[in-house]
Structure 1
Amino acid sequence: MTWQSPIAPGVSWYQSTVTDRPEYPALDGSASADVVIVGGGFTGLQAAYNLAKAGTRVVLIDAVRFGDGASGRNGGQMGTGQRTEVEELEKTLGFERAKALFDLAENAKKHLLGFAETHGIDIEYLPGQLNVAHKAGWEKDYRDHVEITATRYGYKHMSFMDQAETSERLGSKRYFCGTRDTGTGHIHPLKLLVGLARVAAAAGASLHEMTPARSVTREGGKIVVKTDRGDIRADRALIACNGYIGNLEPVNAARVMPIRSFIGATVPLANHPEIIPGNEAIADSRFVVRYFRKSRDGRLLFGGREAYTADNPRDITQHIRRQIAELYPQLKDVEISHAWGGSVGITMPRQPFAREVMPGVTAIGGYSGHGVMLSNYCGKLFADDVLSGSGELDLLKTLKIPAFPGGSHLRKPLLFLALSWYALRDRF
């Protein structure tokens, strides 16, 4: 029987193509460690691997199975830079810090691909990403972005696409211009996640699924993570729950908000070679981003419908099919073989949150849609910080990430109103 995640709707196409997904035992009794990690996604598992291979005693727990959160269910697109474009970062942070954050993201990209290659993990990498404009009149902005990233940030892999080239590369006439980035690409995220867990376990990390953390406190100079079947005592801790933080730790929870995102996978499009003939990933300019790509076996993986509550729609397929048909009318009746969703962690400024939330306890999350490469790298940077100090992680720690307004009772309704307004603007 296919595993059905208790925290996210639908069985993903990723799950159906990962035939060997090991299970890890729940924690049974109390334990001690040098570092305890709460969260078994990319961040937590990368931290566990890098710490364990250096001889650090690591215990990692997750409330469900590894990959049930965003790390195993996302759109698979790597992107370039941070979620906030360099032009905006320069306005608020200045060129030097914006450039450092851009370089950090490039290091994250190299780390992900290098890690998969070193450990023989077939992540089904396909190169190329297109960022496209859904409104007319944005040509100058897109041209300027290509010029700025090349001349000021040293990134030479991006080119401008006019409407004709955009239409040809997408197989759709619904976009007006865009950029083509040959320095990035897209992956099968669950294959990376499963491979990463294997590597972390082989390095000596103690990994436990189906073990929710109930609290994180300091007692007698130690950090104590309480679970239903035992406590874990450690010198350091990492909270890497991202959009599934719940009420575990209030500083993190106030700054990382979950939003629901949904994806559908079609059957292979053997009769439609005009659709994304170069196999690039695509993300558009809507505030509620539509992101889509073709898998290695020729399916269209299409994401775009978001919800700003924890509720799940009754029919994911219906909404995804409608959005596909807007771009590709010839696919209005295409069979959607899989439809699924999950929670993405966002912050107010769409920048990652990394902070020591209590002595010895670091929280990292809020990747805001750029988590595939950033989350992996942030796990490594946390390990570097524990082992020898990490200047790159300090770049993220110094970012000003405010709490969402409204407190625990009003922030979700306020976010719903704000994001619904932006979604409405996307239509005009």
Structure 2
Amino acid sequence: MDTHFEILIVGGGTAGIMMAASLLKEDNKLKIGILEPAETHYYQPAWTLVGAGTYSYEKTARPMASVIPKGATWLREAAAGFEPGKHAVTTDAGHSYSYDYLVVAPGLVYDLEQVPGLAEALDKGVVCSNYTDPEHTWKVLREFKGGTALFTQPTTPIKCGGAPQKIMYLADSYFRKSGVRDRTEVVFATPGTVIFGIPEIKKTLMDVVDRKDINLRFGYKLVRVDGPNQIAWYEFADHEKEYNHKDIKTEQDGELTGIHFDMLHTAPPSAPPACVRDSEIANESGWVDVDPHTLRHNRFPNIFSLGDVAGLPTAKTGAAIRKQVPVVTENIMRLREANILGSPTYNGYSSCPLVTDYGKMVLAEFDYDNKFTPDPKLRQLLISDSSKESWRLWILKKYGLPYLYWNKMLKGKAV
């Protein structure tokens, strides 16, 4: 056994750094270890704006050393396995770290093999993704000369389920500015059945779709990408649920429908990291098996999980983490002091800032019941209805949220 920590945190992303900072604000004498191999920490929500040419990629990156909270020990290794019976985590460097409490927050990984041909095509030529290389997305938009601009997403959970359509709305605006929109068809092929699950947000987005003359194709499950021939192949293509049909070039291969594209933006299929998926702490789907309200593991009482890797029925966003961290912090502190859980619980809150144009945004905030739950603090920004497009929300997205992220959230401060 290499080292023992009172609290061991797996992951140095948003959840891991916020957790460490929040715990150390409660007790700066805590012995906390953070397992994270990456040398750079990224503010990924701004990658939507990077892909549309309105934010600097360099501004989204900071050295990991600069965000590790003072008092925490940075272990530059990746978790390789979990031994909950021994209260230990093994690493790719062959070390083993023991703990009193474990917080599992390594995020998710991209599993391109789920869609044959995607790995070979992604981030090359006219196939792009803000999730993997937003600068390439911006290059694709600048070089686009017209044709079918296809936007799509996988059936797996992904970071911020609304992100694949945000870049579509911005791309449409850019095409209008660059003079190619009149010879372009913008198509959104999604495995879902609605544009967004919250009625108030859905209404606004359908108005945006109408304004921008976008073709929605519901029930489209991406199963293969033919990069050389620029064809995206789908199964379960539900032609009955199409909205605002556009006469684009398609073909059939048995049960599959192929859409010919002149540019393709997609979100890669996502999965839990193998070290989680193949361990005792995973649920049947491979995500960490936690109680949805306490975020405590359902079988191992000294393990908690939050962020993208947690098996929770809500959207995987940084905003969700913002509400999860105080719950886990309180629970761990109360367990250490009195062996009881704290009183705060997590209600499934998540939010998706949906950029609909340069200078316009809608903010979808919701809970486990898909109930629209706008933050009362928005009224301080003179925003009376965040389900409607607003310039003030755009300013919040581009300037306010990055500031809050680096200066408040990652410092463990409540926002």
The structure number with the bigger radius of gyration is: 2
Pick 1 or 2: higher relative contact order, CA cutoff 8 A, min separation 6.
1
Is TM-score (shorter-chain normalized) higher than 0.5?
Answer: no
TM-score between the two structures when normalised by the length of structure 1: 0.37
